């Protein structure tokens, strides 16, 4: 039934919508063409102030507040909702716009979607992972204003991408029926970053999370946003040059990583993150430092004295099956740590044209990857002190 309390607000919206409709149509044409909007926005400020005052005079909507669902804000108070209310009135008419506003103002739970660019992985179909994350191709991104803006950054026309860049795939995590928590925990959930990190176990892979955002699954709630909110990429080093395909083998490594025991998961996380960054560093000195940290996370055992010797010994015992293999691994780790030591003490390491140093780094990358894959495959907590005492894998306890 019509609500008499809405009459004044509806009248204001009808007047404002009649004035705003032509400009809104122009704004949308420019956006579809991928052009920046130029020129003044006629009466935008007046529209906002007029509708805001009408909302503050409304007995129901003047009491609307800000709510936060899993870090996603829903600002329904008059000064915030006035701006997005006008386009809804232009599209649907004033009376239906008020109905929409009432739904927004009384929402107590919402479905929230976390979305992130993922660079360095290629998917041709949706991939569902056991931690709730799904990876999808860019062209299957659920529609939203943020999605539209992202796709415009990469797609010039079908099959063509700017500057030869490969488009990202997309990582998505949906959380359903989320209550208003008042913004107590506004952190982006870690599952997407965790999933992306795990694919580093695939040979040569170094995927990273780029820009990300939070949106409502319900498009009606998403309309309440007056603008677009992004979280910038925070990875260090270069963006991965070539994406690796997410095939069955890659998914298998990912799932084994997700199934790691808690203590081992923490240790491997540090090493995986450093290996990932080392693969994307341009400078040999930086790569040596990253690899040194990765080996210390895996084999340091918290000790500091004679660290280089211990890492040489433990890496060799863990990865080598024969005496000759262990000798070679020990030598390789020693050469890597010489590079690392020169780098951290301000000495020249050389550039990418130095074939010998480049070979040392490549071997370090290989050893870190081999050790990580072995730990993830066995899912057994490695205790370096016991390996030192036994000269290899300790016998199983009876």
Whether residue 343 lies inside any domain: the answer is: yes
**Statement to judge: residues 82 and 124 lie in one domain:** no
The reported pLDDT for the residue numbered 398 is: 38
Whether residue 290 lies inside any domain: the answer is: yes
Q: What three-state secondary structure class fits 73? A: strand
Instruction: Give the residue from 56, 73, 105 where a domain finishes.
Output: 105
- 202-233: b (≥16 Cβ within 10 Å) or e: beebbbbbbbbbbbbbeeebbbbbeeeeeeee
Q: What three-state secondary structure class fits 174? A: strand
Whether residue 232 lies inside any domain: the answer is: no
Which pair of structure tokens corresponds to residue 311?
A: 């890492």
* Residue 271 CB burial class (10 angstroms; 0-12, 13-18, ≥19): buried
The reported pLDDT for the residue numbered 9 is: 93
The reported pLDDT for the residue numbered 184 is: 66
130 neighbors 188 (Cβ within 8 angstroms):
no
Per-residue pLDDT of the chain (398 residues; tens, 9 = 90+): 567 888 999 999 999 888 888 878 877 777 666 666 565 555 555 777 889 999 999 999 988 888 899 888 888 888 889 889 999 999 999 999 999 999 999 999 999 999 999 999 999 999 999 999 999 999 899 988 888 888 877 765 555 555 456 789 999 999 999 998 876 666 788 999 999 999 999 988 999 999 999 999 999 999 998 667 788 998 989 999 889 999 999 999 999 999 998 888 888 999 999 999 999 998 888 999 999 999 999 988 766 667 888 889 899 999 999 999 999 999 999 999 989 988 888 777 766 667 888 999 999 999 999 999 999 999 987 777 777 677 667 655 43
Separation between Cα atoms, residue 209 and residue 239, nearest integer Å: 10
- 94-127: b (≥16 Cβ within 10 Å) or e: bbebbebbbebbebeebebbbbbbbbbbbbeeeb
Q: What three-state secondary structure class fits 119? A: strand
* Residue 314 CB burial class (10 angstroms; 0-12, 13-18, ≥19): buried
**Statement to judge: residues 70 and 157 lie in one domain:** no
Instruction: Give the residue from 105, 120, 146 where a domain finishes.
Output: 105
**Statement to judge: residues 67 and 156 lie in one domain:** no
Whether residue 203 lies inside any domain: the answer is: yes
Separation between Cα atoms, residue 287 and residue 282, nearest integer Å: 8
Whether residue 337 lies inside any domain: the answer is: yes
If residue 113 lies in a helix (H) or strand (E), which one and from where to where?
strand 109-119
The reported pLDDT for the residue numbered 28 is: 75
**Statement to judge: residues 271 and 323 lie in one domain:** yes
Check residue 132 and give left, alpha or beta (phi > 0: left; psi -120 to 50: alpha).
left
**Statement to judge: residues 85 and 142 lie in one domain:** no
Q: Which of 272, 290, 277, 307 is nearest to 343 (CA)?
A: 290
Total structural domains within the chain: 3
Whether residue 398 lies inside any domain: the answer is: no
Rounded to 10 degrees, the C-alpha dihedral 183/98/13/214 comes to 30
Distance of CA 107 to the CA centre of its chain: 28
Q: Which domain holds residue 68?
A: 4-105
Q: Which of 111, 175, 116, 185 is nearest to 147 (CA)?
A: 116
Alpha carbon of 222 to those of 60, 72, 144, 159, 229: distances in Å? 21, 10, 8, 30, 12
DSSP-assigned letters across all residues of 270-300? HHHHHHHHHHH-SSHHHHHHHHHHHHHHHH-
**Statement to judge: residues 281 and 351 lie in one domain:** yes
Instruction: Give the residue from 105, 125, 150 where a domain finishes.
Output: 105
Separation between Cα atoms, residue 217 and residue 142, nearest integer Å: 9
**Statement to judge: residues 93 and 123 lie in one domain:** no
Whether residue 249 lies inside any domain: the answer is: no
Q: Which of 73, 26, 19 is nearest to 47 (CA)?
A: 19
Whether residue 255 lies inside any domain: the answer is: no
**Statement to judge: residues 97 and 158 lie in one domain:** no
Distance of CA 100 to the CA centre of its chain: 32
The reported pLDDT for the residue numbered 397 is: 46
**Statement to judge: residues 315 and 342 lie in one domain:** yes
Dihedral sign, Cα of residue 273, residue 268, residue 363, residue 196: negative
DSSP-assigned letters across all residues of 339-384? HHHHHHTT-----TT-HHHHHHHHHHHHHHHHHHHHHHHHT----H
**Statement to judge: residues 99 and 156 lie in one domain:** no
**Residue for token digits 């695939």?**
202
**Statement to judge: residues 274 and 301 lie in one domain:** yes
**Statement to judge: residues 153 and 68 lie in one domain:** no
């Amino acid at each position: 039934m019509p609500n008499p309390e809405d009459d004044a607000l509806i009248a204001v919206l009808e007047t404002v919508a009649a004035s705003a409709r032509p400009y809104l149509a122009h704004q949308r044409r420019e956006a579809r063409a991928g052009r920046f909007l130029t020129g003044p926005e006629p009466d935008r400020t007046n529209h906002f102030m007029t509708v805001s005052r009408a909302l503050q005079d409304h007995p129901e909507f003047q009491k609307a507040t800000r709510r936060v669902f899993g870090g996603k804000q829903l600002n329904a108070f008059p000064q915030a909702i006035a701006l997005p209310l006008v386009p809804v009135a232009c599209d649907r008419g004033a009376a239906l716009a008020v109905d929409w506003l009432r739904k927004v103002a009384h929402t107590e739970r919402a479905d929230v979607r976390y979305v992130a660019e993922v660079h360095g992985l290629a998917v041709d179909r949706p991939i569902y992972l056991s931690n709730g994350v799904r990876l999808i191709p860019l062209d299957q991104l659920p529609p939203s204003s943020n999605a539209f803006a992202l796709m415009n950054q990469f797609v010039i026309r079908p099959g063509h991408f700017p500057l030869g860049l490969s488009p990202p795939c997309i990582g998505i995590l949906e959380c359903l029926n989320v209550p208003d928590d008042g913004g107590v925990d506004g952190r982006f959930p870690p599952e997407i970053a965790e999933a992306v990190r795990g694919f580093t176990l695939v040979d040569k892979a170094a995927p990273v999370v780029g820009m990300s955002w939070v949106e409502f699954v319900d498009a009606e709630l998403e309309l309440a946003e007056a603008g677009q909110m992004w979280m910038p990429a925070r990875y260090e080093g270069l963006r991965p040059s070539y994406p690796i395909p997410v095939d069955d083998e890659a998914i298998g490594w990912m799932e084994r990583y997700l199934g790691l025991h808690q203590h081992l998961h923490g240790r491997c996380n540090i090493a995986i993150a450093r290996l990932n960054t080392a693969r994307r560093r341009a400078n040999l000195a930086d790569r040596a430092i990253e690899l040194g940290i990765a080996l210390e996370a895996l084999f340091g055992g918290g000790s500091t004295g004679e660290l280089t010797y211990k890492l040489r010994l433990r890496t060799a015992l863990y990865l080598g099956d024969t005496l000759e293999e262990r000798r070679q691994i020990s030598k390789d780790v020693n050469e890597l740590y010489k590079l690392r030591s020169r780098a951290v003490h301000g000495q020249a390491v050389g550039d990418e044209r130095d074939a010998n140093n480049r070979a040392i780094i490549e071997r370090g990358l290989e050893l870190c990857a081999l050790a990580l894959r072995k730990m993830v495959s066995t899912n057994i907590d490695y205790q370096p002190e016991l390996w030192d005492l036994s000269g290899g894998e300790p016998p199983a306890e009876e």
